[in-house]
Structure 1
Amino acid sequence: MQRAAAPPPVYYADQADAPRVPEPPGRLWRALGWMSIVLSVALVLGSLTAYGFWRRLDGRIDREDVKGRLGENRPEKLNDATNILLLGSDSREGENSRYGTEIGRRSDTAVLLHISPGGKGAIGLSFPRDSMVRIPECETDSRTVPARFGMINSAFAEGGPACTWKTIEALTKIHIDHYVEVDFAGFTRVVDALGGVEICVPRAVNDPRAELRLKAGRQTVRGEQALGYVRTRHGIGDGSDLDRIKRQQAFMASIVKKATDGSMLTDPQRVYAFLEAIADSVRTDEDMTLSVMQDLATGLRGISAGNVRFVTVPVQAYPQDRNRVQFDKAKAEPLFAAIREDNTVPEPEPAPAPAKGAPPVQPAQVKVGVYNGTASSGLGKRTAEQLAARGFDVVKVGNADKTYEKTAILYGTGAQRHAQRLAIALPGHPPKPWKKAKPGYVYLVIGGDGAKLRGANPVPKVAGEVRADQDICAAG
């Protein structure tokens, strides 16, 4: 038998060891202001209910017809989660002309904002601009852009937001519901409406190209200074895009933290100015209607900064060009899958009700064997590892004698309360006695309906992730 690395010990059984169980019953847009804006609006809209106010805001939002350019071969929507593609435009048109004279509307990055079912948590997934990917054929108003292999940021430059949308869906197999785009001027408006955003820099910064001068340590930056901070590539970090993404994620987290601060949410004048700045700054798809925004706001009411985090798609060096990167599929695919299949609403695990005169059963007291009764390879091992991380004493992992339609929790003599403790962690599967079970043991047989742990975070931890509630100096 092979012992798993993570405590408590998990043992892997051969097919022969499995008990025969009965059938269980039944480049980066340098500002990245768009990300902060979208998250912030989602986090505070819920405090407003006046319909007239909503209507005035709605009429100021610019919308673009993109859905008809996505094609038919799209990923299926699997659940009630909301996925919003956040894009940063470096357009120099109109009020953005003060930032340069470049022609066109480009975006050097994209972020996928995933909001879990029920609005209990959110994660912003950044796609590095230098990622070499397969870009599908895209349609614009004037031409067809052929499919090609290139940097992910070229999708927006050549095919617009619909092309980036289509590319991200093809790469991740995650269904995207909406997109939101923000420009430089919009970023500065929103930061000013917030009264500035707190940052932390390890040493003083003097970057004439970004018109940026900062002292070392914790401080608050406003509009143009904030824009210079998130645009600079000199004087902070190693100058790489990946390092800059991490710093900008800390900036976004600081915005979320401020946007969810109680003192702001209870000041109607501040909230009104903030939302007006957002409405004047974003462009969305045609289906991001007033009612959709209201539903989103309602679902996110009460979300805390601690449940918002930012991660970067895991990447590795691109062999043909060390200045480029490619997705690290071994690490990226599980992350994409977790977001794609986020079906559960995290909730606290209730305390077990002890039997009269008996102390509650603790997970460490539950000896459980986990058997995979499905055709999904590795499901038993993954579930066992999750149970072990919760403190359960997983004694065996193996395959059941056949496939099963339903998941079952079975127990032997003297293990009824232990089985009930396991059922708290795995709701929806009432424990049942089994005559062939070893006394004191519990058996989890995973069937076609799966084994979802209560309160399990659907998106795995990612190295370097930034949480919105952490100290800004620690995050930066």
Structure 2
Amino acid sequence: MPGHDERLVPTTGIPGGHAGAGEVRVMTRREIHARPPRPWRRWAVLGAVAALVVVVGGSVVAAWRLNANIDRVDVSSGIGTDRPGAGGGGDVNILLIGSDTREGAGNDAYGDNDGSTGDAHSDTNLLVHLSADRTSATVVSIPRDSMTPAPPECSATAPREEWVVRQWNANYGMGGTGCLIRTLEGNTGVFVDHYAVVDFRGFKQMVDALGGVQVCTSEPIDDPKTHLQLAAGRHTLDGRQALQYVRVRKSVGDGSDLGRIERQQAFLSSVMQEATSTQLLLQPNRLYSFLDAATRSLTTDPDFGVGTMRDLASSVKGIGLDEIRFVTVPHEEYAPDPNRVQWTASADEVWSALREDRPVGGAKQRPGASPSPSPSPLRVAPDEVSVHVVNASGTPGLARQARAALEVQGFVVEPTTNGPTVTEPVVVEYSGENAEAARTAAAAFPGATVAKATGLGDTVRVTLGQGAPAVVEVENRLGSEPVPSPSITSSPAPGTVQTRQADTDICS
């Protein structure tokens, strides 16, 4: 947990996004405040609360009780009115906060506070972005030791040019959730629709309601602050152990908060995998136990109640774990203090992706281009698709490897060629009326961008750039011979934002 230290220095030369300008609406749903929060796994809150009426039987009494459990606090006065414009396309941004508060029954029993005293700090900060079409979700971890411009004394009216540089996790203790959101929006231009906070006790109870969560550690843990002891390997942790695990820092790895963020992301992935594999939403007793624990621990903005959570959860129920991505804000050492970090120029790739409602790390949309693959069934069989693979990755042998993996599935692959190095991982181009053929080819390359070109005839051109993924099976492939395992990989372009999918093995 962080100390109560903060730094006030001129903002000149400090990277980290930009203040978003835009019209601001009066809030009801956008209002916000502070209280003990939680470094949690929001998906079961959204996914679980969704089922509240459907699975719990639509009980008015049950819904009333769950809704009454939630504390609501309006923090609009702390955010101010000079906010970024709210997204109008239906995408939603939710700020999830975990604090180190010791207030509240049971919260003083979970380890020390690294010697810090006074106000609570936002020990964990997760910004969850739900795409407008509800086909993907991005969870952005903001390092608590980030040094960014912030409003002086958490002023809701101070103009951006008067902001000072302060450690990120001090904003919550100084001015509550309102100050934290004002700082986030001012540095990123991303509008925050809702917030939710959970305390230590609530986190513990939610994990217990799940029946425990599995974690994987590559080294033994013997942490004197949280008192957690684990041998290397896989373990199923109860609520108390899980809380200790996500708080461990100095005794594991390099002892940094950044290492802890990686463990927390793997933990959240494990929670989602557990909720999915055990079909939590289809077990009324376990579901209600979880919902009761979750809602009794929540503090939210006035409009983020059970009804809103249920509607959001219903809208995202089709998102697979492979479409939920975790990313940490790109950062580097903060020169005045090597124990702190500052955001790099690559951080704006994260914020611009959220503002433009596209996957983080995905290529910016060209005119007439679209992400691939589409969720609708593929209409053209591989043996009807003629593919020309161009190696523009700078990695020898990548196109030949892709050719073999395509041919085994029935694609007709022309001789490969090389091209100048490009940073977009995969671009699939077609001419004329061959959009469906291009979609079939693009389905073999996760995250590919499809674009219309001229002069290609009936050939679909696949350009492999830096960071190009290995070929995967398409749903309508021909034959049964396994797709060859890749032996050649292409590194992403320097500065490319790295992500982790929720279905990634927890030991990786």
TM-score where L is the length of structure 2: 0.66
Q: What is the 5 A alignment of 1:41-440? A: 41-49=45-53, 50-52=58-60, 53-78=62-87, 79-95=89-105, 96-99=107-110, 102-137=117-152, 147-329=163-345, 331-342=346-357, 347-348=374-375, 350-353=377-380, 360-362=384-386, 364=388, 389-392=426-429, 416-418=432-434, 421=437, 440=457
How far did 1:345 drift? 9.1
CA gap 1:359/1:286 in 2 versus in 1, 3 angstroms: same
Are the equivalent residues in 2 in contact too, given 1:361–1:417 (CA < 8 A)?
no
Pair 1:39 & 2:43 matched: yes
CA gap 1:439/1:267 in 2 versus in 1, 3 angstroms: closer
Q: In 2, distance between residues paired with 1:359 and 1:195?
A: 48
3-state SS of the aligned residue for 1:324?
A: strand
Q: In 2, distance between residues paired with 1:178 and 1:229?
A: 27
Q: 2:258 is matched by which residue type in structure 1?
A: L
Q: In 2, distance between residues paired with 1:431 and 1:391?
A: 8
Q: 2:500 is matched by which residue type in structure 1?
A: V
CA gap 1:137/1:321 in 2 versus in 1, 3 angstroms: closer
How far did 1:230 drift? 1.6
CA gap 1:180/1:33 in 2 versus in 1, 3 angstroms: closer
Q: In 2, distance between residues paired with 1:322 and 1:71?
A: 33
Q: 1:91 is matched by which residue type in structure 2?
A: T
Q: In 1, distance between residues paired with 2:310 and 2:84?
A: 25
Q: Which residue of 1 aligns with 2:481?
A: none
Q: 2:506 is matched by which residue type in structure 1?
A: I
How far did 1:274 drift? 0.6
How far did 1:390 drift? 3.9
* 1:79-107, Cα deviation, whole Å (9 max, x unpaired): 21110011112221121133458443321
Are the equivalent residues in 1 in contact too, given 2:46–2:312 (CA < 8 A)?
yes
Structure of higher RCO (CA pairs closer than 8 Å, 6+ residues apart): 1
Q: Which residue of 1 aligns with 2:33?
A: none
3-state SS of the aligned residue for 1:257?
A: helix
Q: 1:73 is matched by which residue type in structure 2?
A: D
Q: In 2, distance between residues paired with 1:131 and 1:439?
A: 48
Are the equivalent residues in 2 in contact too, given 1:46–1:300 (CA < 8 A)?
no
The total of aligned residue pairs comes to 382
Q: In 2, distance between residues paired with 1:419 and 1:345?
A: 13
* 1:159-183, Cα deviation, whole Å (9 max, x unpaired): 1001111111111111110011111
Q: In 2, distance between residues paired with 1:385 and 1:176?
A: 31
Structure showing the higher helix proportion among its residues: 1
Structure 1 segments unaligned to the other structure (5+ residues): 1-26, 367-383, 394-410, 444-459
TM-score where L is the length of structure 1: 0.71
How far did 1:313 drift? 0.2
Are the equivalent residues in 2 in contact too, given 1:254–1:472 (CA < 8 A)?
yes
How far did 1:442 drift? 10
Q: In 2, distance between residues paired with 1:180 and 1:28?
A: 20
Are the equivalent residues in 1 in contact too, given 2:37–2:99 (CA < 8 A)?
no
Moved more, 191-200 or 147-156: 147-156
Q: Percent identity?
A: 37
How far did 1:124 drift? 1.1
Q: In 1, distance between residues paired with 2:452 and 2:225?
A: 66
Q: Which residue of 2 aligns with 1:375?
A: none
Q: 1:67 is matched by which residue type in structure 2?
A: S
How far did 1:462 drift? 6.1
How far did 1:119 drift? 2.5
Are the equivalent residues in 2 in contact too, given 1:310–1:467 (CA < 8 A)?
yes
CA gap 1:286/1:353 in 2 versus in 1, 3 angstroms: same
Q: In 2, distance between residues paired with 1:171 and 1:149?
A: 11
How far did 1:389 drift? 1.1
How far did 1:362 drift? 3.9
Q: Larger Cα Rg: Structure 1 or Structure 2?
A: 1
CA gap 1:136/1:40 in 2 versus in 1, 3 angstroms: same
Q: In 2, distance between residues paired with 1:293 and 1:44?
A: 9
How far did 1:48 drift? 3.2
Are the equivalent residues in 2 in contact too, given 1:120–1:300 (CA < 8 A)?
yes
3-state SS of the aligned residue for 1:220?
A: strand
CA gap 1:302/1:47 in 2 versus in 1, 3 angstroms: farther
Are the equivalent residues in 2 in contact too, given 1:115–1:121 (CA < 8 A)?
yes
Pair 1:465 & 2:502 matched: no
Q: Which residue of 1 aligns with 2:412?
A: none
Q: 2:254 is matched by which residue type in structure 1?
A: D
CA gap 1:215/1:345 in 2 versus in 1, 3 angstroms: same
Q: Which residue of 1 aligns with 2:18?
A: none
CA gap 1:363/1:63 in 2 versus in 1, 3 angstroms: farther
How far did 1:254 drift? 0.8
Q: 2:93 is matched by which residue type in structure 1?
A: N
